[in-house]
Amino acid sequence: MLSVCLPGTGGMLPLPGRWLTCCWMEYQGGALLIDCGEGTQIALREAGCKLSRLETILITHFHADHVMGLPGLLLSLGNTGRTEPLLIAGPPGLREVLTALLVVAPLPFPVHAAELLPGDTLPGWEGLTMTCRALDHRVPCYGWRIEVARKPVFSPEKAGLLRIPQQFYRALHAGEAVTLEDGRLILPEQVLSGVREPYVVSYSTDTRPVEAVAELGRNAGLMIAEGLYGADAEKAHEKGHMVFAEAGELARRAGAKRLWITHYSPALTAPWEALSAARAIFPESVAACDGIRMELK
């Protein structure tokens, strides 16, 4: 089960009742965070996200509303007693940005920076992977695809016909061959039945509506995309952003199961009022709010 939460949904600056856009995902006891604007550590606490589980931070780009919360969050993480390294990944230039930000945040744990190129994939934990693609913004910006491979379906019926004792089920389900007490070698494919779709979540903010957004969200259980200016297409084009209808069209082309729209302009005080434009194209569109959460299972 992959749990996804948006502790904040705002763009440009935090507001009363709306923190800056970020995304928190948990899987098998570990967590990752995408972006970290001002006050993100507070947004995480209000959303019930446990900072001690954090394994990796992914950065989309280096505008202030996506990185200026890093010193405060990392200091908060240090106050939990953390000593193990933390991985932070993002576009080229990440090391320089982190060096500057961490001048004011001496930490009791090491931070490892990974500067990635478009298309690079980072391995996570328990079969989780993180892949970036270049988006179209005023500065270099990445979208992310989080994918969790799932074990094939185990068939107790097939195992029963082969008279396999239950103590071997776990190893076979994990893809390991086993030798029974009677000397028979049992291969995993003899007791597995069907492939499960992976868990997939895509995250794309601060971009024009480019094909990379749809590629990141291909067949995703949840696609997260920005709609900064609601329906003001002229302003969105000028500033390098999207409107709700464009996000809906990309979700439709991606074949995603659900779309969360996020990263609202401070002037967009009632984002749900613009939602009909996206739903007319992609009915499973949601105007996300701070703390929205779902589980892919």
Domain CATH number, residue 58: 3.60.15.10
- Judge if 206 and 127 occupy the same domain: yes
Q: What is the pTM of this model?
A: 0.88
**44, 222, 250 from 202: Cα distances, Å:** 20, 7, 12
pLDDT band at 89 (very low <50, low <70, confident <90, very high): very high
Strands 199-204 and 142-148 come out as antiparallel
Give the 3-state secondary structure of residue 66.
helix
According to the model, what pLDDT value does residue 53 have?
A: 95
- Judge if 219 and 95 occupy the same domain: yes
CA 261 – CA 243 distance, rounded (Å): 9
Range of the domain at 18: 2-150+197-296
According to the model, what pLDDT value does residue 91 have?
A: 98
According to the model, what pLDDT value does residue 121 have?
A: 97
pLDDT average, residue stretch 21-49? 97
According to the model, what pLDDT value does residue 171 have?
A: 84
Distant-in-sequence, close-in-space partners of 115: CB < 8 Å, separation ≥ 6: 89, 90, 91, 92, 93, 94, 95
**130, 183, 254, 276 from 210: Cα distances, Å:** 20, 57, 12, 22
pLDDT band at 256 (very low <50, low <70, confident <90, very high): very high
61: which 2 tokens? 């780009």
Does residue 159 surpass a pLDDT of 90? Answer: no
- The number of distinct structural domains making up the chain is 2
According to the model, what pLDDT value does residue 145 have?
A: 98
Q: Tell me: the pLDDT tens digits for 167-213? A: 888 888 877 888 888 888 988 888 887 777 899 999 999 999 999 99
pLDDT band at 271 (very low <50, low <70, confident <90, very high): very high
Q: In angstroms, what is the C-alpha Rg of the chain?
A: 21
According to the model, what pLDDT value does residue 162 have?
A: 84
According to the model, what pLDDT value does residue 215 have?
A: 97
Does residue 93 surpass a pLDDT of 90? Answer: yes
137 carries a ligand binding annotation: yes
According to the model, what pLDDT value does residue 147 have?
A: 97
Q: 210: how many CB neighbours lie within 10 A of its CB?
A: 18
- Judge if 108 and 162 occupy the same domain: no
Distant-in-sequence, close-in-space partners of 37: CB < 8 Å, separation ≥ 6: 8, 14, 19, 20, 21, 22, 64, 65, 66, 67, 68, 69
- Judge if 23 and 131 occupy the same domain: yes
According to the model, what pLDDT value does residue 258 have?
A: 98
pLDDT band at 164 (very low <50, low <70, confident <90, very high): confident
65 carries a ligand binding annotation: yes
Quickly tell me which residue has 């049992």 as its tokens: 186
pLDDT average, residue stretch 208-223? 97
- Judge if 179 and 139 occupy the same domain: no
66 carries a ligand binding annotation: yes
Quickly tell me which residue has 């004011």 as its tokens: 104
237 carries a ligand binding annotation: no
- Judge if 49 and 92 occupy the same domain: yes
Find the range with the poorest average confidence among 55-69, 83-97, 142-156, 261-275.
142-156
Does residue 297 surpass a pLDDT of 90? Answer: no
Let me know the angle formed at the C-alpha of 271 by 269 and 272, rounded to the nearest 5 degrees. Answer: 130
Q: 122: how many CB neighbours lie within 10 A of its CB?
A: 17
- Judge if 206 and 164 occupy the same domain: no
pLDDT band at 155 (very low <50, low <70, confident <90, very high): confident
pLDDT average, residue stretch 233-237? 86
234 or 64, which is more confident?
64
CA 56 – CA 43 distance, rounded (Å): 17
- Judge if 103 and 171 occupy the same domain: no
- Judge if 114 and 240 occupy the same domain: yes
263 carries a ligand binding annotation: yes
According to the model, what pLDDT value does residue 178 have?
A: 87
- Judge if 40 and 178 occupy the same domain: no
The catalytic residues are 65
- Judge if 161 and 292 occupy the same domain: no
- Judge if 134 and 276 occupy the same domain: yes
Q: Please name the residue ranges forming H helices in 29-173.
A: 40-46, 64-67, 70-78, 94-101, 156-161, 169-173
